[in-house]
A and B are shown apart, each in its own frame.
Chain A
Amino acid sequence: MLVRAAVLRRGRAVSALFAMIVAAAVATAMLNLYVDVQAKLRREFRNYGANIIVVGRDESGKDGASLPADALAHVDSVLAGRGIAAPFGLVVARTGDGQPIVVAGTDFARVRQLDKWWSVSAWPKAAARQFGDMTRYENQNHYPVASLRAGSVAQNTTWMWQESSPALIGVRALAAVAPKNQGFDLSFQGRTLHVIPAGTVQTGAAEDSRIFVSLPDFVAWTGVQPSTIEVAASGSPEEVAGIMNQLAQAIPASDVRPVRQIMEGEARVLGKTRSTLLAAAALIILTAALCVLSTLMGWVFDRRRDFAIMKALGASGRVLNGFFAAEAAVLGASGALIGFVLGIGIAAWIGRVNFHAPVVPRWSVLPMVLAGSMAVTLLSAILPISLLRRVQPAVILRGE
């Protein structure tokens, strides 16, 4: 009887089901986005760079002391893929004409991922160091060209100190140290490093006045270990706080600090966006539910003749209620299921278009959508029925 009821009045049933599907799809998509948008936006905020800074600390509590050599390994093991960290060692060196300049040693590959806003003309190749004009490889036993003269090279100590390091030069520093982009010497505590500009960096901040060389070159030249590790940890504020705790325990001789401006700014923007999204979701779901309500009520009301005939043929109030309720429940459930699948698709599409990453389907949304759909359909079936029940079947059948 249920099936026949649906088949006979196909047009109306289809439009009711369509309304149901659209409502469920929209609700699913909105709820999915609401749950997922936080994670998506957090990823965007990680482009702001570090939200935690690990600074070496001496006994008196002053900054700037070197971190232990294994500090970066500790940070990496604490992070375990939940972020990226880059070490920085800083000294003030002198240029050829005695001008002081800040030289930083860092890991270019890591900085490139951590500080995406750096505008760099060309990153130095981290794997190969320059040796005069010949390329020298990290593994000191392999001199591809100089191998014939390996003995003489090893004995020639001035050659060793004259080794040159490809560097990233801040745009403001460039004018002072290498206006013609040529190599130049830097001295620190009597030791000289020959630097070849590989590219320039522009950030609009302190980096513009600095020279960046690779960390192994920096340590070999100055004997100073990195004093700062910048960490961009991903996750919720609680997860980031957990990572900070673990870092503080793993590296006792350090001060682990949050970068407050980034963390609080992020929290504010995320909070506001989520609230806006919630308001929008509430409005849209309400509209969709009302759309279903009006369509279904029209559909049920339209069938007052069926209702009157059934009643005239002796169906009890309970049977009638049950019949219409079952019909509504089937409609609600099937609409919700199809809508859920569609909604997941819409959310994934929005994720791809806007965030370039799909929104992960949340199965926890399904029971909510299902329950909501059933509630709306039952309500829209029960309301007209309770109105009709008070009317004599004869009146309805006469078309009044």
Chain B
Amino acid sequence: MFVRLVYESFRRQKRRKLLAGAAITLGVTVATAMIAVATDIGDKINRELRTIGANLVVTPQEDSLDVEIGGVNLKPPTDGAFLNESDLPAIKGTFWHNNITSFAPMLPVTVAMEYGGTREDVTLLGTYFAKLLVYGKEEFTAGVRSTYPLWRVEGAWPDDNGSGVLIGDRLATRIHWKPLQPIALSGRMYHVSGILYTGGPEDDQIVAPLSLAQEILGRPGAVKRVYVSALTKPEDAFARRDPKSLSGAIYDRWYCSPYPQSIAFQLAEAIPHSHAEQIRQIAQNEGAVLTRIEGLIFLITLAALFSSALAVSAAMATAIFERRAEVGLMKALGAGKVAVASIFFAEATLLALIGGMAGFVVGSLLAHQIGHSIFNSEISIPPVLLPVILAIAVIVTFAGSAAAIRRAVGLDPVFALRGEL
């Protein structure tokens, strides 16, 4: 009897059920999309912030002091210690290798440049552009093109294994360099494949493949610094603790959190004789910006959940209020309060589940669409969200119906049937 009542109610009142169902679907759609966006926004914005540049740097442990002004090294280039290029792929073997989006080794060398009758000492920066590396069975590319996506080249990027170089924009203007003309560096002619715009000291330098810089320096396999771009978690008091003072489970927790400090610690472990630390300008501010944006989206998601809950409650209240006469009839025929209420609650649950499922599907599509149109990447929706969303839908539908059902059940059937209330 109970099942039949509920079933018939759905069959005969298609319009009303459709309206209430549509409201639930809409509410759940908005909730799903916003929760999906909110849980993923940190990662998305983190990736956007990575375009500003590397946030970690690895240097040789026993390095002598840098004597560098405006990107020009004033020290004999063979001075100091070096890292070994062949150790670099091990960066991808660290615990947080999935968070390391890219890295670029650097080797600055001072060279004598001759061009159009002028002769001066300039810095030649050896690096990877987009070099294919292999660690174990994994292949990946590393280099400045992914570490510094804002570097722009007019012309073509040189080949990592070739001998083409890039000339910095200010240097090119200063020496009146004309496109496609080769330049002489330390007595040898090099093909210049393009002009590089970075907005940093590289604008006054020549940027070349790493192997070329090593050849000029006469130190095969040498690397001065490695800039690493990693997705990190904003630093907190726990992050700043010294790993040496931690023990056991606390150390493990520190080690397995993607703080800039712990990733730097792991980098120094992975590369022999190295020292790694965060570039505070990038790493510190990143955390602050990230926290703000995440906080904002979180608060807005709350607003979205609140307004969709209201929409669902309003729709349910209206739907039940319209059925006063039915309640009156049921009560007149001898149904108790509990029986009437349970019919309504059963209907509400059914509606919530159907609407919730539909809303979850539409909301996932919507989140997907938002991810593509704004961030050009997928917004992943954790499957655990489905039961959570359904539970929220049922609770909200119940809460929205409760007041209306209580009033409907409390009505005197005589008045209700006469339609006077």
A interface with B by C-beta (< 8 Å)? 15, 19, 22-23, 26, 29-30, 33, 37, 40-41, 44-45, 47-49, 55, 60-64, 90, 92, 99-102, 115-119, 172-173, 176, 202-206, 209, 228, 257-265, 268-269, 272-273, 275-277, 279-281, 283-284, 286-288, 290-291, 294-295, 298, 302, 305, 346, 350, 353-355, 399
Contacts and interface: CB of A to CB of B under 8 A. Distances in A.
B68 interface: yes
B272 interface: no
Interface of chain B, main secondary structure: helix
Q: Which 10 pairs between the two chains have the least Cβ-Cβ distance?
A: A260-B199, A265-B52, A298-B318, A291-B311, A209-B66, A354-B295, A117-B284, A204-B279, A117-B280, A275-B374
Given A261-B200, A279-B374, A291 B310 contact: yes
B315 interface: yes
Contacts of A204: 56-57, 277-281, 283
Interface in B21-72: 23, 26-27, 30, 33-34, 37, 41, 44-45, 48-49, 51-53, 56-57, 63-70
B297 A280 contact: yes
Contact of A63 (B199, B204, B314, B370): B204
Given A37-B296, A47-B285, A63-B204, A261 B280 contact: no
A279 B301 CA distance: 12
A280 B419 contact: no
A355 B295 CA distance: 9
Nearest to A262: B52
A170 B375 CA distance: 39
Task: Tell me which of A29, A92, A284 has the highest count of chain B C-beta atoms within 10 A of its own C-beta.
Answer: A284
Contact of B307 (A26, A90, A295): A26
Given A44-B289, A63-B204, A264-B51, 19 more contacts: A15-B314, A30-B300, A33-B300, A45-B285, A55-B70, A64-B70, A172-B65, A173-B65, A204-B278, A261-B53, A265-B48, A273-B296, A276-B297, A276-B370, A279-B374, A284-B303, A287-B308, A290-B23, A290-B26
A104 B318 CA distance: 73
B161 to A, nearest CB: 28
B292 interface: yes
Contacts of A291: 23, 307, 310-311, 314-315
Given A44-B288, A118-B280, A290-B26, A260 B375 contact: no
16 contacts: A44-B289, A48-B281, A60-B174, A102-B68, A206-B68, A272-B48, A273-B293, A275-B374, A277-B296, A277-B297, A281-B300, A286-B30, A288-B311, A294-B19, A350-B299, A354-B296
Interface string B349-389: 00000000000000000100010011100000000000000
B374 A272 contact: yes
A353 B296 CA distance: 9
Contact of B49 (A49, A265, A287, A294): A265
Nearest to A269: B48
Contacts of B95: none
A99 B65 contact: yes
Contacts of B104: none
Contacts of B322: 298, 302
B304 A284 contact: yes
B388 to A, nearest CB: 19
B248 to A, nearest CB: 28
Contact of A92 (B69, B197, B375): B69
A280 B53 contact: no
B374 A276 contact: yes
A33 B68 contact: no
B23 A280 contact: no
Among A40, A61, A90, A294: residue with most chain B CB under 10 A: A294
B310 A260 contact: no
Interface centre among B19, B37, B56, B314 (most CB of A within 10 A): B314
B52 to A, nearest CB: 4
